[in-house]
Structure 1
């Protein structure tokens, strides 16, 4: 989605040629209008956006930078709806969140993602399975809860006074009692969805809302749903009241207009975005940061926050010292691979780095769990003794042969991986030394010069 809108903005920006050329501005606005409508942005939103951009650009003076500034400011005005961003807590725990949305929007997965996000904030979270309409919904939530090591409350957890086949409402009430008595910080209720909005669905949600008095009601909107998603969100808002929207599948090939349309047409704040398939792929929707990513400038602040919540400060200092001394071991490598996986998908991480946003699409299917090279390295390391992991210099011929047999690899694979690891350690040591980064920049400059000569 970032790629699609970013390219549209760049195309429009390239229509601006001269500082005082109104024809260029008209062409840029026309190109932007076509792009926004193509990307499923509602015509009213498009009209308002273009009007603001034109007025601000003319006031500041027609030019590329002023047009870009006007575009950023106008996007921010639309996305800055009244309300909170991210997560807010009730004055008295537990904070109760009811998740709503149509079937297929990613509601159950998003519930787990939100629980995982709160867990990284050291909150005690209880997931509640109230989606009894979809087969395997309870089992899916159970598996996700086990994966992220968060407690789950489901039909069989209800008390003896509850019927053998409890209703979603009875499960929700029993779960609230459990959340209060066991002092949970947050309770997240995964409710049923339907393929289309119906009376039974709304009555069930209203009953749960009245019984729980939730602090928040989140609507999970599929980024691929376009204007249909906006209409559905509007209906849910009118029927039960929505305090925030979470956009799922934001990393998909969606056109992207739903984000602007929900904010402008409904005035409901976008709270989070699901930026990948991995559980950690959930980012706070902060307008300034989202616009920065749309403009291709990345989002270092969000990346830093996500990293800080995963990586221990002392561990980071220890690794830094090891890199400087060239003492980075295979054990350290495996540990850091596991840490990187906690940050989310590679495409999600790269999209936050300035200048690398256009690479996110190419990394969409890169998975450290399924990467053949990472699998080989893990197999090799797990076939090594602790002494060999900590000191690769002792890996003589007989040791490498034993490791190859134990890992199912060839000796040539072991030799190649060890050599790559050794070269990487030496490079890291050089970059960590004084003047290391300057040396790297000089090398890159030389390589660029050679490339330009071909």
Structure 2
């Protein structure tokens, strides 16, 4: 997600940082590079022009050219302007009394609208609400069935009326309004406090689609209208949003498919062109892959700073509190085993793609590039580590000191890895165990310093007791040809 844009920004800042003192011309030259990067990311030309000029004027106003280290302040200025471009955003959903609150979901076919209805329902359940899904896309039987399936997976009721479903162009006038009204009535009868209407979509905007959506909007007066957009479609998504907003008065946007190779143009242009904020982003196929949109966090990710706040929020939601308490006790006792190591790996995997997680930790995105790690490499490493662990017997897991050369060779054969990978696995475990002991022995002040260091991206100086540090090391899990090259040196 946005990797190309992040790389371009980082190159510009490195160039400025290497100059010592800089001039207004240097700044304008750098912003020309930024302008090219934004245009390649499919951001609207007018927005790019206004954005880069705002950065230049702010830099001149703050007298960046008089500083000895201008690169750092330029990063801050660009960050502030990115936040201004995408925000402010209020992701709260305002609920009515008496219930139910009615949320109308609109969007073109293929944008992921029906799946997003399921994700939003799951999000609401986590917030303590009791949603009901309504299948009102009557011209696509597959959409009705998909919503039923999602509801069954989530344990959330779905209102459907198969008698109203018909082929494209043959749905009776007023059928969608009738289905939505019946869903709201059922919600009142069954105590559901939110109704999510999955309305019709098309491959393109046409009069028939807009007529049906306007009718639902006018007759039922939903409390909020969210428009689902495919982030991969760039400016096409923004143009669609503008057209929908003119007809429906949209309250907010939900951008999907942010786990793909998204250029970012829709995200950076949507607010300024439509006047409507991005409320949520879809970050994967799983039903929990829906994030509240935070302009500050997204600006940090674009600039390669990570987004530790979002990561901590997700961890609090998805990690087992009981397991976390047990780990805390073991850390304080200095008793961290291989079983704990693998259990923690399993907890981390609940957060989703490891590539996404690494990008949310300050400094880790650059670190993985320095280590020549591409997309999927971390997941593959974790898979091999799990295979090594599974090849050990119970005694070996309990007491790793038993692992002599003979046992390590047996484990390597069983896991389908090379012998040195078993050694690397044990080193990683030992480093983690030492770090856990160090953190467990910290007082509150030490833990606060640790968090400050992590959030600043200073991964190599986290202030561990006794001078221990986390240092970037080359991974031992490399392709054979890379390992051979290493040996030849």
Q: Give the match for residue 48 of structure 2.
A: 46
Unaligned stretches of 5+ residues in structure 2: 165-170, 403-409, 442-463, 476-485
Alignment partners' CA distance in 2, 1:426 and 1:346:
21
Quickly say closer, same or farther: Cα 1:317–1:154, change in 2 above 3 A.
same
Alignment partners' CA distance in 2, 1:234 and 1:132:
25
Number of aligned positions between the proteins: 426
Alignment partners' CA distance in 1, 2:283 and 2:298:
12
Alignment partners' CA distance in 2, 1:309 and 1:184:
23
Alignment partners' CA distance in 2, 1:157 and 1:336:
50
Q: 1:218: Cα distance to partner?
A: 0.7
Quickly say closer, same or farther: Cα 1:340–1:442, change in 2 above 3 A.
closer
Residue 8 in 1 paired to residue 8 in 2? yes
Choose which of 345, 350, 362 in structure 2 pairs with 1:354.
Answer: 362
Residue 56 in 1 paired to residue 58 in 2? yes
Q: Give the match for residue 24 of structure 1.
A: 26
Deviates more, 1:424-433 or 1:261-270: 424-433
Pairs within 5 Å for 1:9-408: 9-16=9-16, 17-61=19-63, 62=65, 63-81=70-88, 84-155=90-161, 167-322=175-330, 324=333, 326=335, 339-357=347-365, 359=368, 362-363=374-375, 373=384
Deviates more, 1:429-438 or 1:97-106: 429-438
Quickly say closer, same or farther: Cα 1:126–1:325, change in 2 above 3 A.
farther
Alignment partners' CA distance in 2, 1:445 and 1:344:
23
Alignment partners' CA distance in 2, 1:445 and 1:311:
26
Per-residue CA shift, 1:109-155, capped at 9, x if unaligned?
11122222222223222222222323421222222223333332222
Per-residue CA shift, 1:165-223, capped at 9, x if unaligned?
99332221111112222222322221121001111211221222234322211111111
Quickly say closer, same or farther: Cα 1:314–1:201, change in 2 above 3 A.
same
CA contact 2:108–2:201 (8 Å) conserved in 1:
yes
User: What's the secondary structure of 1:351's corresponding residue?
Assistant: helix
Per-residue CA shift, 1:280-330, capped at 9, x if unaligned?
221111111111111111111111111112224343112332455536575
Q: 1:237: Cα distance to partner?
A: 0.4
Q: 1:445: Cα distance to partner?
A: 7.9
Unaligned stretches of 5+ residues in structure 1: 397-403
Quickly say closer, same or farther: Cα 1:334–1:93, change in 2 above 3 A.
farther
CA contact 2:137–2:143 (8 Å) conserved in 1:
yes
Alignment partners' CA distance in 1, 2:132 and 2:10:
44
CA contact 1:230–1:261 (8 Å) conserved in 2:
yes
Alignment partners' CA distance in 1, 2:288 and 2:379:
13
User: What's the secondary structure of 1:175's corresponding residue?
Assistant: helix
Per-residue CA shift, 1:423-444, capped at 9, x if unaligned?
7765544322247855794584
Alignment partners' CA distance in 1, 2:239 and 2:474:
53
Alignment partners' CA distance in 2, 1:41 and 1:47:
10
Alignment partners' CA distance in 1, 2:377 and 2:134:
31
Deviates more, 1:62-71 or 1:49-58: 62-71
User: What's the secondary structure of 1:136's corresponding residue?
Assistant: helix
Q: 1:374: Cα distance to partner?
A: 8.2
CA contact 1:155–1:165 (8 Å) conserved in 2:
no
Tell me the TM-score normalized by structure 1: 0.80
Alignment partners' CA distance in 1, 2:338 and 2:280:
37
CA contact 2:341–2:429 (8 Å) conserved in 1:
no
Alignment partners' CA distance in 2, 1:135 and 1:74:
45
User: What's the secondary structure of 1:173's corresponding residue?
Assistant: helix
Per-residue CA shift, 1:402-424, capped at 9, x if unaligned?
xx9xxxx9983499999999877
Tell me the TM-score normalized by structure 2: 0.74
User: What's the secondary structure of 2:35's corresponding residue?
Assistant: helix
Q: Give the match for residue 436 of structure 2.
A: 432
User: What's the secondary structure of 1:296's corresponding residue?
Assistant: coil
User: What's the secondary structure of 2:234's corresponding residue?
Assistant: helix
CA contact 1:280–1:344 (8 Å) conserved in 2:
no
Q: 1:352: Cα distance to partner?
A: 1.4
User: What's the secondary structure of 1:219's corresponding residue?
Assistant: strand
Q: 1:9: Cα distance to partner?
A: 1.4
